[in-house]
Amino acid sequence: MGLKETSKFLSLILRHKPEVIGISLDEHGWANVDEVIKGINKTKEFNMDILEEIVRTDNKQRYSFNEDKTLIRANQGHSIPVDVELDVVEPPEYLWHGTGEKYVSSINEQGLLPKSRLYVHISGDRETAYDVGRRHGKAVIYKVLSGKMQKDGYIFYRSKNGVWLTKNVPVEYLEMEGDE
């Protein structure tokens, strides 16, 4: 199993199913590093060097260690209820959400919903949103009227890797921009 596949497996463990390797996360999403290594090592070669390389080289900065590297967690994207201790942050006037064309009718009816995640993930710039949208087919970009949402009482968070998070985005705060 290559580093990319191992990273995906780590993501599954730390975001969705820690029980697949027989561990649990604390209320803030932290897992004991020794237990993670031991659990993954049951089925594939895995050690601290590999774990550190995954954390260091992950281009989306999905993971964080605590100060002494005894604990690790995913920064966001959980489907299990954890509090990753996000700070409330005032958003800029606009944020962007990239998606695939196949989701447009649902979004136009219901707005942005977290689905299986705890929060809706929003990008700080249009280019990143476009890249996210392309992963789902033909990209469609929505401008999120985040400044207006915040004035209307919606709360925004920003994860350690720069992704903007909020519970939902109602239709009236979305403007569809189409694709490139």
Q: What does the pLDDT look like over 1-51, one tens digit per residue?
A: 688 999 999 999 999 999 999 999 999 999 999 999 999 999 889 999 999
pLDDT tens readout for residues 83-133? 888 889 999 999 999 999 999 999 999 999 998 888 999 999 999 999 999
Looking at residue 178, what is its pLDDT?
Answer: 52
pLDDT digit string, tens, across residues 123-161:
999 999 999 999 988 999 999 999 999 999 999 999 888
Instruction: Count the alpha carbons within 13 Å of 119 in the hemisphere toward its beta carbon.
Output: 23
Tokens of 143: 């401008």
> Is the Cβ–Cβ distance between 111 and 170 less than 8 Å?
yes
pTM for the model stands at 0.73
pLDDT at 122: 96
Give the pLDDT of residue 179: 45
Question: Contact 64/58 with Cβ under 8 angstroms?
Answer: no
The type of residue at 78 is H
Q: Which residues, 6+ apart, have CB-to-CB distance to 54 below 8 Å?
A: 3, 6, 7, 10, 63
- Taking residue 102's Cβ as centre, other Cβ atoms within 10 Å add up to 11
Three-class DSSP category at 89: coil
Residue 30 is predicted with a pLDDT of 95
Average pLDDT estimate for 160-180: 87
Buried b (16+ CB within 10 A) or exposed e, 38-53: ebbeeeeebeeebbee
Q: What is the pLDDT of residue 130?
A: 95
pLDDT at 180 over 50: no
Residue 67 has pLDDT above 60, yes or no: yes
Query: What does residue 32 show for φ and ψ, rounded to 5 degrees?
Result: -70, 125
For residue 91, give the 3-state DSSP assignment: coil
